Structure 1
Amino acid sequence: MKIVVIGGTGLIGSKVVARLTQEGHEAVAASPRTGVNALTGEGLEQALTGARVVVDVSNSPSFERAEVMEFFETSTRNLLAAEAAAGVGHHVALSVVGTERMPDNGYFAAKIAQERLIEKSGIPYSLVHATQFFEFARAIADEATVDGEVHIAPVRFQPIAADDVADAVAGVAMGAPLNGRIEVGGPDQYRMDEFFREALAAWGDPREVVADEGARYFGSVPGERTLVPGDGARLGQVSYRDWLARDPAR
């Protein structure tokens, strides 16, 4: 069947397209690079013709509060309208574990707004809530750096490989709509400051990691379980150590 992947040339999207293609589906990578822009609506009608499933793994180019809200609300409205016109029967969206537990975070608030639009659209849907990707660990450490020290909240943390996220998203896309959500996380749970202490050591990064209960995660202070999935979550197969070992340059 034809499955259109919005954001299909990005980190997760390209992996989802590859997995769906391997399973024999007509997977279409849709992004501004391929002439499809959900934010402006450009190319949506043509791309969605004949599609049975749409997977949205697109992301905002800005994390500034107003801009990220504008991105997810506008692109999702455009996408849902085009899906309704094309008769798409399943909308799959990638979101973040803990969105509802940290609504003061601008990015999380925008993802909540996106999910509400999807839930009210009348189109059968599935939401995949994932924890933080291994691939973003350096960016998290850099964002948390103050005067050369990495200030990290001592809360639970369960990051996941992008490959495992893509497997989960592709699996959901090939199945029946959940009309609800699943959560996915990595195979190992850490205390967040301990994870980054080990990670920086593995990178050969000399910065000191400071356990700081007031440390912010992209603008908000996370609670003990804000960033980890609940019971029954699907767990990935790749550990962080194994992920690093596959490519030492990481």
Structure 2
Amino acid sequence: MSTGKIAVAGATGRLGRPVVDVLTERGHRVVPVSRATGVDIITGEGLAEALTGVEVIIDVASWHGSEQEAATEFFRTSARNLHEVGRRAGVVMIAAASIIGADKATAGFVAAKKVHEELLLAGPLPVRILRAAQFHEFVGQLLDWRQGDVAHVPSLPTQLVACRTVAEVLVDLAMASGTSAPGTPIPEIAGPRKENMAEAARLLGARRGIEVIGIDGGGIPDAEIAAAGAFLPGPHAKLAGPAFSEWLDTRP
């Protein structure tokens, strides 16, 4: 796809920053869309001006908490505004990041992403979705949520992936020409091997002086289906980037 300007919704977030980096490195003209740049996709403040002349929106904006109802309302409003304002501005397509297993989720933040996917796909603009595994960077967030010097982390299977890797594949998807054949699965991106969230947290915790205790996932939304592998990549997934330990060795 030959594009003019590309808007990145959530440009200053965890995934937004590497998406902006990848686009810039590849010579694209980027419009960063976030409250930090004076554009609010929820209230609509500055959105019409930001999307003027934009051909593609890459939507990586996210809610800051895990509560399902609040996250769902955020995604409902953001999807509606990006579609409506984008259509009026002449945007031709939206590419968005989601989570592997969103279609199976019944509770929590991932269930809110399921609704987000449905709302995006129901809008007037064509939409491409990339489902990603949990990010390497998410492990540090789990440790930040601890109380004291001990972190309790679910011992659940995952296939952690680097944000930079997700950004590269999402940009590829946004820039690809043509359309997918009917019935084509939603593309997925994950890291190179299956890992355990608590074990990954122990590796990082050892560097930070934090004890990590693995728990069975009780109280975590959809813990039972997660333990059964519902949020692991499917057979059509692209596996790329470093494993968690390799990625950790590159951190300062």
Q: For the superposition of Structure 1 and Structure 2, which TM-score range results when normalised by the shorter chain?
A: 0.7 to 0.9
How far, CA to CA, are the matches of 1:246 and 1:66 in structure 2? Answer: 37
* Alignment match, 2:186: 181
2:222 corresponding residue in structure 1 = 220
C-alpha displacement of 1:10:
1.7
Distance 1:60 1:6, change over 3 A: same
Cα drift, residue 149 of structure 1: 5.9
Q: Distance in 2 between matches of 1:233 and 1:138?
A: 25
Task: Give the letter for the 2:235 counterpart.
Answer: D
Distance 1:191 1:178, change over 3 A: farther
* Aligned pairs (5 A) from 1:106-121: 107-121=109-123
Q: Which amino acid aligns with 1:173?
A: A
Q: Structure 1 unaligned runs (5+)?
A: none
Question: Could you give the per-residue CA deviations for residues 32-72 of structure 1, whole angstroms, max 9, x where no partner exists?
Answer: 11111110011111111111100110011332222111111
Partner residue, 1:9: 12
Change (3 A) 1:149 1:231: same
The aligned residue for residue 163 of structure 2 is: 162
Look up the match of 1:241: 245
Task: Check whether the contact 2:150–2:211 (CA below 8 A) recurs between aligned residues.
Answer: no
Partner of 2:138: 136
Residue of structure 2 aligned with 1:83, choices 86, 111, 119: 86
4+ residue segments displaced more than 6 Å = 144-147
**Cα offset, 1:148, TM superposition:** 4.3
SS of equivalent to 2:113: helix
1:126 pairs with 2:128: yes
Q: Do residues 172 (structure 1) and 173 (structure 2) align?
A: yes
Root mean square deviation, CA, Å:
2.3
Q: Which amino acid aligns with 1:243?
A: W
CA contact (8 A) 1:5 1:28 kept: yes
2:235 to 213, 220, 231: 231
Q: Partner amino acid for 2:188?
A: E
Structure 2 match to 1:206: 211
Partner of residue 191 from structure 1, selected from 170, 187, 196? 196
Q: Does 1:48 align with 2:81?
A: no
Moved more, 96-105 or 198-207: 198-207
TM-score by length of 2: 0.87
Paired-residue identity, %? 33
Deviations 1:192-212 (A, max 9, x none): 4443344434544233x2352
- Any conservation in 2 of the 1:156–1:189 contact (CA below 8 Å)? yes
Are the structure 2 counterparts of residues 223 and 176 from structure 1 closer, same or farther at C-alpha, using a change threshold of 3 Å?
Answer: farther
Paired with 2:6 and 2:177, the residues of 1 have a C-alpha distance of: 13
Closer, same or farther: CA 116–150 of 1 in aligned 2, 3 Å: same
SS of 2:118's partner is helix
- CA–CA distance in 2 between the matches of 1:131 and 1:144? 22
Match of 2:40?
Answer: 37
What is the CA–CA distance in structure 2 between the aligned matches of 1:149 and 1:28, rounded to whole Å? 38
Task: Using structure 1 for the length normalisation, give the TM-score.
Answer: 0.87
Q: Which runs of 5+ in 2 are unaligned?
A: none
Do the aligned partners of 1:125 and 1:178 also contact (CA within 8 Å) in 2?
A: no
Per mean C-alpha deviation after superposition, the further-off stretch among 141-150 and 235-244 is: 141-150
CA contact (8 A) 2:133 2:232 kept: yes
Whichever residue aligns with residue 20 of structure 1, its letter is L
